[in-house]
Amino acid sequence: MLERLFQTDSTPCHLREGPAGPFLDGFAESMLAAGYSSRTVGSYVHDADHLGQWAGRRGVAVADLDADLLARFVRHLLRCRCRGCRRAVHKRVAFRVHAFLRYLREEGVVTTSAPEATRPQIVVEYDAWMRDRRGLAETTIAHSLPVAQALLATVGDDPRRLDAACVRKFVLEYIRRHAPASAGCVTTIVRCFLRWLVVQSRCTTDLTEAVPKVPTWQLQRLPRYIPADDVERILAACDRPSRVARRDRAMLLLLARLGLRASDVVGLRLGDIEWGQGRLRVVGKGRRETRLPLPQDVGDEILSYLEIDRPVSAADHAFLTARTPIRPITSSGLRDVVGRAIERAGVEAPSRGTHVLRHSLATRLLCEGATLDAIGALLRHRDVSTTALYAKVDIGLLRQISQPWPRAEVSSC
């Protein structure tokens, strides 16, 4: 494997003779499989050899490497005078040797675990309960744990010290520091955690009633959407000479034509596309499985991306990152794609997130005469009241049924 990276025959032989030599071929192969160029992989291999030589001079075997030793090695780089090493490139060495350590852990060569953020034991148990007993999604758990840990931190990780005033103060301050739209989620998370503490006998008093209630009014807001012409301009903005243009357009079409959520798009796998039947298998909220028809233009764009531009990867996700390391694209990455497309199209959008295209689809269908039931089925709403939000966007119809404001009779007194 190393012979593919270097022009001279002596370099691979020299690298294999070093302390890290037995692991460099596999490391290079894993980096190439992740999509890194041969030149970049060569730099990673040289830095891994540098780490091995440094550790060997101190009597440390490669199998004994850990995060503390890597920190010492990084400090050594500031005054490094090792033969064949250039100080000008030391700023990227720290990142490369950590990648080498991750590879050694994955292969079982290094048994020391990666350092994790310390969490109170109660939070660890709550994490296990949400995952094993309730079967909650990873995203739900990821949103809940920081709030639970922050609440415990206010009383020194001792839930027996919690009282009504403490809970109320925490919730109000936490909501003030975060987006107003997240207030309802925060109160729900706190109530659930407090109930669990009582059931587990970690807290003697049920403090759920101390959590402030956030006032909400059903259907109080208008959905934020973009006119149909502007949606087409956003899609056209992806028609450009670029390696990622086809991928971006395919993802935007799934959002704009089928109203998928961001999690639906980034979670789409190759096996979910049923080409013979012309449909998609989508697993949405609550792990509910649905099959949606695949429009012709969406299918054509996905197929073009898969055949021409999708990087070679062992991952079975449909959409991958364009830059190394090659991995499935994330929801934040998809949000950036939408934001950049809106900016290139020059569209004035009420939001730069992915959900604005979902709202735009529902609004367009309603204006074209689709029923709320049909729209709800496409968007996979469980409750028709959720779809009823879009009934307020047909301003022309609302004007026809609106009643004039009654004139007040002015008393002569």
Q: In terms of Cα–Cα distance, which of 338, 324, 388 is closest to 41? A: 324
Residue 76 is among the residues annotated as catalytic for this protein? no
Question: Are both 331 and 378 inside the same structural domain?
Answer: yes
Residue 134 is among the residues annotated as catalytic for this protein? no
Question: Are both 257 and 391 inside the same structural domain?
Answer: yes
Among residues 150, 177, 210, which one ends one of the domains?
210
Determine the Cα–Cα distance for residues 260 and 273; give it in Å rounded to an integer: 14
**pLDDT score of 166 more than 50:** yes
For residue 320, how many C-alpha atoms fall within 13 Å in the half-sphere facing its CB? 21
Look up the CATH number of the domain holding residue 302.
Answer: 1.10.443.10
Residue of 160, 178, 240, 285 marked active site: 285
Residue 355 is among the residues annotated as catalytic for this protein? yes
pLDDT single digits (tens) 176-217: 887 776 788 899 999 999 999 999 998 888 899 999 887 766
Question: Does 80 map to a domain?
Answer: yes
**pLDDT score of 125 more than 60:** yes
* Total count of domains within the chain: 3
What's the confidence (pLDDT) of residue 274? 92
What's the confidence (pLDDT) of residue 134? 87
Residue 261 is among the residues annotated as catalytic for this protein? yes
Question: Are both 196 and 65 inside the same structural domain?
Answer: no
Torsion 306-309-312-314 (CA) sign:
negative
Question: Does 295 map to a domain?
Answer: yes
- What values do phi and psi take at 283, rounded to 5? -110, 105
Residue of 50, 96, 358, 380 marked active site: 358
Residues 6+ apart with CB under 8 A from 306: 270, 318
Question: Are both 53 and 91 inside the same structural domain?
Answer: yes
Among residues 78, 106, 134, which one ends one of the domains?
106
Q: Which residue has the higher pLDDT, 112 or 403?
A: 112
Residue 305 is among the residues annotated as catalytic for this protein? no
For residue 98, how many C-alpha atoms fall within 13 Å in the half-sphere facing its CB? 12
This prediction's pTM: 0.71
Residue 169 is among the residues annotated as catalytic for this protein? no
Question: Are both 50 and 127 inside the same structural domain?
Answer: no
- Residue 333's domain comprises 228-397
**pLDDT score of 115 more than 60:** no
What value does the mean pLDDT take over residues 279-288? 84
CB contact at 8 A, 251 and 264: no
Question: Are both 389 and 268 inside the same structural domain?
Answer: yes
Question: Does 410 map to a domain?
Answer: no
Q: Which amino acid is at 20?
A: A
Residue of 261, 359, 364, 380 marked active site: 261
**pLDDT score of 88 more than 50:** no
Q: What percent of the chain has pLDDT over 90?
A: 28
CB contact at 8 A, 334 and 265: yes
